[in-house]
Amino acid sequence: MVAISGATGKQQVIIESFFKRHESVFKKLDTAIEVSKSNAMTRETFDVNASLSGSKLNIKIAATDLHSVRWAINAVRKWLKAGAKEPLALTDKPDFRWRGVVEGFYGNPWTAEQRLKGVEYFGDFGMNLYLIAPKDAQWQRFQWRNPLSDDFLKELAELIARGNENAVDVAACVSPGLSVTYSSDEDVQAVVNKFLQMASVGAWHFGLLLDDIPDVLTHENDLAKYGNVAQAHADFANRVRTKLVEANPLAHVILCPMHYAGRGTEPYCHVMGDELHPQIDLMWTGREICSGYLDIADAVVFDRSTRRPPFYWDNYPVNDGSMANRLHIGPIEGREKGLHKYSAGLLANPMEHFEASLISLGTIGDYLWSTENYSAYESWEEILVDLIPAEEDRKAIREFFRNTLGLTGHWSPEFNQTIGACSSAWRDGNPEKAAQAAREAAKKIRQNHKVISSDSFCAQLLRNEIAPWLDKYALGAEWLEGMASVLDECVSVPGEGLHGPKSGHAKLIQYRAELNATTRKLFGDGFDIMLGELAGEITFDRD
């Protein structure tokens, strides 16, 4: 039971939606919530006081705006999960102004059902913006001149409404760059018309994407009007913004430029700084398309060149293109503390694999909320508890995940322990100990795989998404057991190392070939290296 007083109608919708979503946390509590207006001068700030006496939960929230109500009750939920041993008294606000997700990958776009589920999680993660921009969606990139279909508009309206319930703004993007004539008023109007369709169902953020397109002007009218492609991009974006602001003075335009990665000192960036309207946010991925780090020094350089702070398009945990064989499942790392002071916002580009993406996205939400207090692996563990509540299931899949963490973390800390135990033992002249370590690792893999493959596993949608990597995980047990059988037949010769039968060399080469024939990346590079080193270090001289 939840009693709400003092809330506006929209605040009440957010609170009721939250308690419906997290019914399992609050269902045994008699909850009273009192909402008032905060006098704080910064956006999304809240004061929350909560006390728990028996089954009675009293919550008082002073909120600066609509979204901060959601962040306050997020804090209450976290306090309850931690045990609520002392009353809660907290004043807080997020670091980054805009925090969220840009669905901007190549591959199969997320489904309407996944997007609806996603905005609920994004609200839990403290995020406030979700841009839909899948590269392979025809409406977004290839048929940008065509009006949005009634079916898509209906889906977008439902998604925006669900986002409003969870304090997440939702919008879709347009990518005209493959065929646009920048000097054309008709093409400007075509983009504006599409954005106005989105505005008709509640959108007020508008993503204009000019990434991954030809880097030269090709139309005669454009060549005649513009000195370079950057001028064309700035002019086109400015004209789009002018028309949108005429329709809605609050229109927020976010531009992803053609040059979206680098040092920020490129000539293109300087032209955009000179000619792009100052209220258009400019996206940037950092020094690389998939940057291992984002830091303040680079942000300052970008700001000086473009005359605005970067609006980060952070390509993690995305795994499209050449990265499709990798599963990026680890926490976000390599993002500097205090970066929010030099940023307009940060949106993370996820994987095509929706359920798996939620794990990394949860840690990104924690970083965006408080860069100073963010602890990557503490955040990762907390997200795992939320997404995989069954302890046995969580232990099994945690150990699996630790064989394939991703771009910004250690590739395979779990398997590295096996490598260390095996290689140090055989190099110490103890093949029996090395074989035992390999078999123990194989046994653990088989146990984990059995739990994850069970019909009772509590996160089956996630399990189905990562099935190809799980298949390789199971094969890893076979290769480890095969390696152990080779070591069983070896003897240590003082001063000469290990000696073994000639058949052992062929087996190791076979296991290594099988490992590399399965294209999904798992175990880092360590398994391949270990098999190669073992094959090279044993003297195979017995029949």
Residue 233 contacts by C-beta under 8 Å, 6 or more apart in sequence? 182, 210, 255, 257, 258, 272, 276
Burial, 349: exposed, middle or buried (Cβ in 10 Å; 0-12, 13-18, 19+)? Answer: buried
Confidence band of 41 (pLDDT split at 50, 70, 90): confident
Mark residue 141 as left, alpha or beta (left: phi above 0; alpha: psi -120 to 50; beta: remaining).
alpha
Confidence band of 350 (pLDDT split at 50, 70, 90): very high
Q: What is the mean pLDDT of residues 43-63?
A: 96
Q: Give pLDDT, residue 63.
A: 96
Q: Give pLDDT, residue 408.
A: 52
Class of the domain covering 2-92 = alpha beta
pLDDT for 86-140, tens place per residue? 999 999 999 999 999 999 999 999 999 999 999 999 999 999 999 999 999 999 9
Q: Give pLDDT, residue 412.
A: 86
pLDDT at residue 214 tops 90:
no
Q: What is the mean pLDDT of residues 165-177?
A: 96
- Residue identified by tokens 């970083």 is 367
> Could you tell me if 387 and 358 are in contact, meaning their C-beta atoms sit under 8 angstroms apart?
yes
Q: Give pLDDT, residue 405.
A: 77
pLDDT at residue 422 tops 60:
yes
Q: What is the mean pLDDT of residues 397-403?
A: 94
- Residue 227 structure tokens: 């000195």
How far from each other are the two terminal CA atoms of the chain, in whole angstroms? 77
pLDDT for 253-262, tens place per residue? 999 999 999 9
Domain 99-382, CATH: 3.20.20.80
36: enclosing H helix or E strand: strand 30-37
pLDDT at residue 508 tops 60:
yes
Q: Give pLDDT, residue 364.
A: 98
> Could you tell me if 321 and 74 are in contact, meaning their C-beta atoms sit under 8 angstroms apart?
no
From CA 427, how far away is CA 161, in angstroms rounded?
Answer: 62
Confidence band of 40 (pLDDT split at 50, 70, 90): confident
Strand 497-501 to 491-493 pairing: antiparallel
- DSSP letter for 121, please: H
What is the share, in percent, of the chain residues with pLDDT greater than 90?
Answer: 91
Single pTM value for the model: 0.95
From CA 182, how far away is CA 258, in angstroms rounded?
Answer: 13
pLDDT for 224-255, tens place per residue? 999 999 999 999 999 999 999 999 999 999 99
Q: What is the mean pLDDT of residues 140-146?
A: 93
Rg of the chain over Cα atoms, rounded to whole angstroms, equals 27
pLDDT for 467-492, tens place per residue? 999 999 999 999 999 999 999 999 99
Q: What is the mean pLDDT of residues 507-526?
A: 93
pLDDT at residue 543 tops 80:
no
pLDDT at residue 152 tops 90:
yes
Greater model confidence, 452 or 25: 452
- Residue identified by tokens 């369709």 is 197
pLDDT for 406-421, tens place per residue? 655 457 888 999 999 9
- Residue 536 structure tokens: 């090279």
For residue 456, the tally of other CB atoms under 10 A from its CB is: 9
- Residue 434 structure tokens: 């090395």
pLDDT at residue 500 tops 70:
yes
Closest by CA to 208, choosing from 247, 154, 251, 169, is 251
β-strand partners of 174: 208
Closest by CA to 336, choosing from 314, 317, 358, is 314
Q: Give pLDDT, residue 525.
A: 87
Q: Give pLDDT, residue 411.
A: 74
Q: At what angle do helices 66-81 and 9-21 cross, to 10 degrees?
A: 30
446: enclosing H helix or E strand: helix 431-453
For residue 307, the one-letter residue type is R
pLDDT at residue 374 tops 70:
yes
From CA 157, how far away is CA 162, in angstroms rounded?
Answer: 9
Phi, psi dihedral angles at 335 (to 5 degrees): -110, 125
117, 504, 539, 542 from 501: Cα distances, Å = 57, 6, 8, 4
Q: Evaluate the CA torsion angle 225, 231, 234, 238 in order and state its sign.
A: negative
> Could you tell me if 129 and 347 are in contact, meaning their C-beta atoms sit under 8 angstroms apart?
yes
